[in-house]
Amino acid sequence: MISVIIVNYKVADLLVNAIESVYRSTIAESMEVIVIDNHSEDDSRHRVTQQFNLVTWIQNDENTGFAHAVNQGLRIAQGDAVVLLNPDSYLDPVCLNELLTCLKSDPKIGIVGGRVVNPDGSIQKQCRRNIPTLRSAFFRLTFLSHLLPSLRLSREYEIAQIDDRISSDVEAVSGSLMMISRRLQEQIGYLDEAFFLFGEDLDYCLRARNAGYRVMYCPSARAMHYRGESRKKRPFTTLWHTHHAMEVFYRKHFRDKHPLPVQALVRLGIWCRWILLTIFEGARAPFSGHMR
């Protein structure tokens, strides 16, 4: 059995489309769909339960964060493989089958991610990436990756040197479309709830690799992702959670490997970036409608 876990927050229309795409999948395995709603306060529950009577619905009374909600789903999931799927995604019919075929091809494969694309067909680079290093973090925190996009070091985090049409081992895939083997989940546990909204996928992939498992990118498993639809209404909150996740990830995995001055510089870089982007967002909000 495959368990598909979807965490929903105020995107009823897209959630219905995502579930429809799951049930249209051409896969021989039995399947269950679990939706955890983080207090959407819209008609998501009514629409889903009326249209899909087999969906398991978990209703939270507050927004508990992505990792916590996924863990709620993991605790009741029955599948030998679990798929984390964003509610603003739409699967190709063969996507789940391709993910499962890759997962079953080697018992040391613990996580598989697919080719996640934007509505215009361009690839979302986060669907296959490297674990951040001090070097790649420097280019991102200082915006050099945007100012010098053709520089090889600017693209190190996004694995730009490998053709995205080729299946390959990677360091991390995106939590918007991630298949996890049950044996891996039982070995390394649940998602780290210190990450509220971002970073939990990077953390889980790193933990999987540290446990001796492979993380695979499978381009034949394709999904469209209307990226961040539930976050567009809260850009300032999103910015804070993004940078908080950076600090949590650094503190958990790399802080003890660096001397105190480096630790201080990393934290300074993270929060200076947050301040700059928050100011920029505030300056453009009256023109983009974010403040209304």
**Cα dihedral value 158, 164, 167, 170, nearest 10:** 0
Q: Are 21 and 90 in contact (CB under 8 A)?
A: yes
Structure tokens belonging to residue 21: 């795409």
Handedness of CA 275, 276, 280, 281 (dihedral sign): negative
Per-residue pLDDT of the chain (292 residues; tens, 9 = 90+): 999 999 999 999 999 999 999 999 998 789 999 999 999 999 999 999 999 999 999 999 999 999 999 999 999 999 999 999 999 999 999 999 999 999 999 999 999 999 999 999 999 988 999 998 777 777 766 766 666 666 666 566 678 767 889 999 999 999 999 999 999 999 999 999 999 989 999 999 999 999 999 999 999 999 999 876 555 656 788 888 888 999 999 999 988 888 999 999 989 988 888 888 888 776 554 433 332 2
Partners of 270 in beta bridges: none
Q: Which CATH class is domain 2-225?
A: alpha beta
For residue 123, what pLDDT is reported? 93
Q: Are 215 and 173 in contact (CB under 8 A)?
A: yes
AA identity, residue 188: I
- For the chain, domain boundaries: 2-225, 235-288
For residue 228, what pLDDT is reported? 61
How many whole angstroms separate alpha carbon 199 and alpha carbon 192?
9
**pTM confidence score:** 0.89
Residue 129: DSSP 8-state? E
Q: At 285, phi and psi to the nearest 5?
A: -60, -45
